[in-house]
Amino acid sequence: MDYQFYDTYSNTKKLFTPLDPSNVRMYVCGPTVYDYAHVGNARPVVIFDVVYRMLQLKYGQDHVCYVRNITDVDDKIIEASNSLNEDISTLTERTTKYFHSDAEYVGALKPNFEPKATDHIAEMINIIEKLIEKDHAYEAKGNVLFAVNTFKQYGKLSGKTLEDLIAGSRVEVVDYKKNPADFILWKPAKENEPGWDSPWGKGRPGWHIECSAMSEKYLGQTFDIHGGGQDLTFPHHENEIAQSECCNDKKFANFWMHNGFLSIEGEKMSKSLGNFITINELKDKFQGEVIRFNMLLTHYRQPLNWTEKSLQESKKILDKWYKLLGTAEQPLASAKELISEIMLKALADDVNTPQAIAELHQLYKAAIGGNQKALDTFYNSCKFLGLFNSTSHEWSTRQNKAVKIDENLINELILKRNTARSGKDFPEADRIRDELLNMGVILEDKDNQTTWKLK
């Protein structure tokens, strides 16, 4: 089955033909690790995980290479480090672990490579030196900048002229720039900032050069798919194209795929509006599959309105589907041949996950009657989309698998409650019972023993 993906660069939906079917390559911009990731960050994690699964299915797991980077040197990281009075390496290691936990929570497979920017400084310096040699970059006051007017196709990805891009963005105006749109490749390191030796003095890379260097190292000078959020189209991806193609005189990426923006209850997510939601916060209320399913209900290129109501509705659907799994009279067969062709056809048409889920609803209806083949197809199709990561029993007995049920804490609270009851401190005993109930724990007192279960 052929795949068609929408290519941002050409603004058309095109047949996907890999450069080398035995080595299909995809690069997706990963997190800047200075804090917990928010729900908007989770969208590309989920979407490009589906694309990764599609590529593996068609070309084979051993013939697909997926790279997602970690940006661990950046102005935001330095600012957070200073604010928290925490060593930068400690901060980035901690927040990288947060991100890995979040990615696992939403059911994302691990990429083949996850390079860190700080491990690839030499590669960045090498590209910058080549750009200077080719007169595409210049040094000024310890900075090295890319000269945008040397790349005639600058603005092609975002579909704007250089003048429009300058007028519509907040470019840093400094006296050492030859053109206001010229962007930083290398900057001097200030005191108490991370820095590396270079031909231009001790400094650190600009953000854009990081992805050019890491993608080239792991995927080559030209690769199949470059992905990320729509917010990265300009300037990040525009600048990646400019510096990579000027350095290597080759096309950088064959396809550019971008997921749409995410809003919260119809408003732009913002800390000032009080609607800033991290993935970590959701773990107390929902299983990761609920988050994943809810994101897949909207086509990846469309804006996604994140609402509490839609999350609750997604949970109800999965509750119903998991209940069906519990009716299986024999073990469910697991095979890629049992994945619905209708669902795969929907995904092949520019990752149409809403249409794919519509097919899952039809498969669910067909499976209700006890048809084992229909149930097997339903199960395998859901698994392919990254669902059904729990058993029916696990789902029903732990309504939120992601809430870490601390059995030691529960038993400790039960012991305190029993002690309070023995001392006839019934108000305290009732308070502890209510506390456990709020945790989703139901107590049962029988034959002088207290047992518990999850509601």
Q: How far is CA 111 from CA 57, 65, 175, 380, in A?
A: 15, 8, 42, 22
Instruction: Give start and end residues of each alpha helix (H) in 155-287.
Output: 162-168, 207-219, 238-248, 279-282
Average pLDDT of the segment spanning 362-390 = 93
Distance separating the N- and C-terminal Cα atoms of the chain:
45
| Candidate from 20-24, 305-309, 394-398 with smallest mean pLDDT | 394-398
Q: What is the pTM of this model?
A: 0.86
What is the C-alpha to C-alpha distance for residues 43 and 158, in angstroms, rounded to an integer? 21
Contacts of 277 (CB under 8 A, 6+ apart): 38, 39, 264, 269, 306
pLDDT of residue 443: 87
401 pLDDT above the threshold of 50: no
CB-based contact 18:59 (threshold 8 Å): yes
Q: Which two tokens stand for residue 267?
A: 């408003």
Instruction: Give start and end residues of each alpha helix (H) in 271-340.
Output: 279-282, 288-296, 308-325
CB-based contact 359:342 (threshold 8 Å): yes
| Candidate from 61-70, 306-315, 390-399, 411-420 with smallest mean pLDDT | 390-399
Based on DSSP, count helices (H) and strands (E) in the chain, helices before strands: 16, 15
452 pLDDT above the threshold of 90: no
Calculate the CA 377 to chain-centre distance. 28
CB-based contact 30:70 (threshold 8 Å): yes
Span 153-209, pLDDT tens digits: 999 999 887 777 666 555 666 888 999 999 999 999 988 899 999 999 999 999 999
Residue with tokens 């945008």: 148
400 pLDDT above the threshold of 70: no
Average pLDDT of the segment spanning 261-282 = 88
Rounded (10°) angle between helices 238-248 and 207-219? 60
pLDDT of residue 73: 96
Beta strands across the sheet bearing 137-140: 137-140, 143-146, 183-188, 203-205
Residue 88 phi, psi dihedral angles, 5° rounding: -60, -45
Span 118-138, pLDDT tens digits: 999 999 999 999 999 999 999
pLDDT of residue 284: 80
Calculate the CA 203 to chain-centre distance. 30
CB-based contact 219:19 (threshold 8 Å): no
pLDDT > 90: what percent of the chain? Answer: 73
Q: Which two tokens stand for residue 130?
A: 């080549």
Q: Which two tokens stand for residue 114?
A: 């996850």
Strand partners, 264: 267, 306
What is the C-alpha to C-alpha distance for residues 310 and 426, in angstroms, rounded to an integer? 41
Residue 71 phi, psi dihedral angles, 5° rounding: -90, 110
Residue 433 phi, psi dihedral angles, 5° rounding: -60, -45
Strand partners, 188: 203
211 pLDDT above the threshold of 60: yes
Average pLDDT of the segment spanning 109-124 = 98
In three-state secondary structure terms, 376 is helix
pLDDT > 70: what percent of the chain? Answer: 95
**Ranked by mean pLDDT, which of 315-319, 365-369, 414-418 comes out on top?**
315-319
**Residue 10: how many other CB atoms lie within 10 Å:** 12
| CA proximity to 96, closest of 119, 114, 79 | 114
Residue with tokens 């696992």: 104
Biggest distance spanned by C-alpha atoms of the chain: 85
In three-state secondary structure terms, 148 is helix
pLDDT of residue 422: 85
